[in-house]
Structure 1
C-alpha cells in the first residue's frame, strides 16, 4: 500500500459522464490500495477542509456512479487568483494537504481548472510539500486544447442531435397549419462545437437542421431572414440551431444576461426568443423555441457510450499517472483513426492546456456559414456512437445513486473564503 492519500475534486459545470471519471478514479486507486478523499463542492471544499472519505462508500455505490449524472461530490465555479495575488489561498491548500497526508491531487475540470492545477503543482514543492497534480479533462464545450475531444461533449452532442431530429419531425407534421419555425438554443459561449453537433441530425441533403448559427460566424439579420423564408417556402418549415454565443457584426452577444460567473464569463441565455421574435415581426411565421440549458449536460439516459468510455478512461489514467510520479500533466484523448474510429490516452503538459481555448475549425463550417462540412461529420459522428443507458427501476425511472458523503474530521482552524 502506497503511503499517503489522493484528493479528487470536481470543478465548474458538471457533465452527464463526470461521475464515470470519479468512479474510475476511486476504483483504480482502491486497486492500488490508495485511500481517496473527495473535496465537497470542488476547490471550495479543499480550502474549507471539507473532505469526503470515499473509503466509507460501498463498492456498489461507486460502481453506480458510472451511470449517474450530476457531480457526486459537488462542484463549484470558483477561480483561484494567481499565486502573487492571493498566496494565502495556496498556502492554505498545502496546509490541508499536509494535515491529511495528501500526496496526489486530481482536479477534474476545464481550462481554468487546468490553470489552477498547474499553479498548485508549482507551489507545493516551494512550500515543503511536493505533490503530484494531475488535471483531468471535462467540459461539454469541447474547447480544451491538445485533447482530441473532451469527456462530456459526446453526450451533449448526442442529446442535441437527437433532440433536433425528434423536434423537427414534430414540426414537420404540424407545419401546414401551425408552427413554421422551430429554434433550439444550445450551449457554447465562444466555440460552436455543440451547435455543430446539431448538424448530425441531418442524414441527407435538405434534412433539418436547415440553419446552424455559430458563434464563429457573425449574425447577418437580412441573410438569416432570407434563408428562413426560402426554407419555409421550399419544405414548409425551418429548424434552426442557435449557439448561445451568437454575436453580431460588432462582436456583441445577441443575448446577454448582464451577469458574470466566478471565472469572469458572461452569463448568456435568450438567443432563441430574440430570433423567434425577429422571425415573427419580419416574416409573420408562427414559431416555437426551446432552451434545453441544463438538460443538455445532465441527460445521462441518452449518453454516448464513446463518451462514457472516454470519461472512465481519463479517470483511470489520471490515477496511474499520479502514482507513477507524473506531475502537471493531463490525460488527453488522441484519435488514431477515423474509420474505424480508434483512440488512446496520453499525458500532455498542463502548460499547453491551461487557459487555452480550442475553437471550431473553419473547415468544419460550410461555405454559406449555416451548416457543417463532411470533415466536421467525420470528426463528430464517432463521438456520439453507442448507447450506455442506466439501469431502470420498477418505477420506470433510472436507478441513480446518492453517496453518503461522510466528511473526515477537521484538523485545522476554520477557513473563510472571501471574494466569491
Structure 2
C-alpha cells in the first residue's frame, strides 16, 4: 500500500500560538513516517492548494520545526478564503482533487476557526462525491474563542493574558494622571459576536469595582443613557474610568456601533473604530478628556506574553489531529475537554466537524453581571486557568529570536493554473 502524503494549512486571522499547532502536526507526522509521507503546507492556506503552491516541510530542520512553538504569526501564510457551495462551484473541488492526486495527498489538516471548520468539513465530503479518498481533520484556532463543543480555543488564552495585562498597566497609567489630565481610557478589542476577549479584561481587576470599571460586550445591547450614567458615576468615585469595548458592541436592533459599511472576504461586516466612537461620545456628552487605543493585531501576535496553558493546548490539538487521522477518523476536530477548574485539568477529545462548522459560541448569560458592564465569578473560574503560566521565547540582541522557515515550493505537476 502506497504511503500517502499530507496537506496542512493555516486559515483566517493567525494567533501567537498557531505555529505551535503546526509544530504538533509536523513533529507527529515525522514520528510516523511509515504511515504519512511528506507533509506539504499550503502557501497562504487553502489558496495554496488551489494554486498548487505547496511548501515542502521535509526541507526544514527538526530544530526549525521545534522553533515554531515560540514563533507567532502564520509560518506558511494564512488566508481568508471560504470554499463555495459544491453544487454551484464544483470546479473548486475538482481542482483540489486534481492537486491532491498529483501530489499523492490523502490527509488534509486545516487549522482555523468557524469558516475554516466549514472548509475542512466540505473537503471531507468530496471523497464521496468525487471519488477520491481524503481524510480531513480540522484543527481549532481562533482568538475569538467562539467555536462550539471545545472548552476553549487555542489562541484565546494568550490574547486573554495580553488584554488583561495591557488594561491593568494602562489603568495604572491613567490613574496616576487623572487629577490634572486624562480621565477616560478606552481600549478596543476583537470579538465580532462573542465577548470572550473583552471578558478577559475583567481578570485585571485587583478588587471589586476596580479597573477596568466598564466592559462592553456584543451580547449586551448598548444603551447610551445607562452607559454614560455609569461613566460619570465611576469618574466621580475613582477619578478616572477605564473601559474595554468589543469591536462587535451593538445596539438592541443588532446594528454594530462600529459598522464600517463594507464586508471582508468571508462576507462579514468589516468592523473598526468603536473605541474613538465611544471616546468621542463621552467627550461630547460629559466633557471628560480621553485617550483610546485599539489592540488590533498586537493582541493576537504577542508571543512574548503568551499563556503557557494556551501554548500546550495549541501543540496538543496539532498532535491529536495526526493521531486521529492515523486512527481512521474523518470529518472530526480535536477539542479541549475541561475536567476541572481548580486545579485546572484538561484533556483532548474529538467532535464532528458537522456540529462545529459555522456555529458560534457566545458568552453565556451567567458570565455577565446583571448590569451588563462586568464579569461574574463564574466567568472568572472559567477564564483564570486559561491565562496561567509563562513560556517566554528565546531572546537575541534584546528582542525575541523567531524562526524563519525556508518555505520552498515543490515543483508543479499540473499544466494549467487556477484563478483564485
TM range (shorter): over 0.9
C-alpha separation between the residues in 2 aligned to 1:206 and 1:356? 34
- 1:375 pairs, out of 370, 373, 378, with 378
- Corresponding position: 1:315 with 2:326: no
Tell me by how many angstroms 1:413 deviates. Answer: 2.5
Q: Which residue of 1 aligns with 2:343?
A: 340
- 2:188 pairs, out of 185, 190, 200, with 185
C-alpha separation between the residues in 1 aligned to 2:276 and 2:101? 52
Gaps of 5+ in 1: none
For residue 45 of structure 1, give the secondary structure of its aligned residue in structure 2: helix
Q: Which residue of 2 aligns with 1:8?
A: 8
For residue 47 of structure 2, give the secondary structure of its aligned residue in structure 1: helix
- 1:262 pairs, out of 250, 261, 265, with 265
- 2:143 pairs, out of 120, 140, 145, with 140
Could you say what the CA RMSD is over the residues aligned between the two structures, in angstroms? 1.0
Aligned ranges 1:229-268 → 2 under 5 Å: 229-268=232-271
Q: Which residue of 2 aligns with 1:199?
A: 202
- Corresponding position: 1:41 with 2:58: no
For residue 345 of structure 1, give the secondary structure of its aligned residue in structure 2: strand
For residue 399 of structure 2, give the secondary structure of its aligned residue in structure 1: coil
C-alpha separation between the residues in 2 aligned to 1:182 and 1:414? 55
Once the two structures are superposed, residues 363-409 of structure 1 have per-residue CA deviations (whole angstroms, 9 ceiling, x without a partner) of 0000110000000000000000001110001x100000110000111
C-alpha separation between the residues in 1 aligned to 2:417 and 2:87? 20
For residue 252 of structure 1, give the secondary structure of its aligned residue in structure 2: coil
- Corresponding position: 1:402 with 2:396: no
Q: Which residue of 2 aligns with 1:74?
A: 77
Once the two structures are superposed, residues 278-334 of structure 1 have per-residue CA deviations (whole angstroms, 9 ceiling, x without a partner) of 111111111000001000100000100000000000000001111111100000000
Give the stretch that moved more between structures: 121-130 or 199-208: 121-130
- Aligned pairs, number: 417
For residue 206 of structure 1, give the secondary structure of its aligned residue in structure 2: coil
For residue 331 of structure 1, give the secondary structure of its aligned residue in structure 2: strand
CA contact (8 A) 1:110 1:138 kept: yes
Tell me by how many angstroms 1:81 deviates. Answer: 0.5
C-alpha separation between the residues in 1 aligned to 2:82 and 2:130? 21
C-alpha separation between the residues in 2 aligned to 1:417 and 1:152? 31
For residue 313 of structure 1, give the secondary structure of its aligned residue in structure 2: helix
TM-score, reference length from structure 2: 0.98
For residue 400 of structure 2, give the secondary structure of its aligned residue in structure 1: coil
C-alpha separation between the residues in 2 aligned to 1:367 and 1:414? 60
C-alpha separation between the residues in 1 aligned to 2:61 and 2:286? 59
C-alpha separation between the residues in 1 aligned to 2:215 and 2:137? 36
Once the two structures are superposed, residues 175-208 of structure 1 have per-residue CA deviations (whole angstroms, 9 ceiling, x without a partner) of 1100101000000000000010011101211210
Q: Which residue of 2 aligns with 1:414?
A: 416
C-alpha separation between the residues in 1 aligned to 2:367 and 2:199? 8
- Corresponding position: 1:169 with 2:172: yes
CA contact (8 A) 1:48 1:414 kept: no
C-alpha separation between the residues in 2 aligned to 1:96 and 1:416? 11
C-alpha separation between the residues in 1 aligned to 2:382 and 2:321? 25
Tell me by how many angstroms 1:250 deviates. Answer: 2.2
Q: Which residue of 1 aligns with 2:275?
A: 272
C-alpha separation between the residues in 2 aligned to 1:48 and 1:124? 20
C-alpha separation between the residues in 2 aligned to 1:139 and 1:47? 23
C-alpha separation between the residues in 1 aligned to 2:199 and 2:365? 12
Tell me by how many angstroms 1:112 deviates. Answer: 1.0
Tell me by how many angstroms 1:2 deviates. Answer: 7.2
- 2:105 pairs, out of 95, 102, 105, with 102
For residue 385 of structure 2, give the secondary structure of its aligned residue in structure 1: helix
For residue 270 of structure 2, give the secondary structure of its aligned residue in structure 1: strand
For residue 202 of structure 2, give the secondary structure of its aligned residue in structure 1: helix
- 1:124 pairs, out of 112, 124, 127, with 127
For residue 142 of structure 1, give the secondary structure of its aligned residue in structure 2: coil
Once the two structures are superposed, residues 198-221 of structure 1 have per-residue CA deviations (whole angstroms, 9 ceiling, x without a partner) of 111012112101000001111111
For residue 93 of structure 1, give the secondary structure of its aligned residue in structure 2: helix
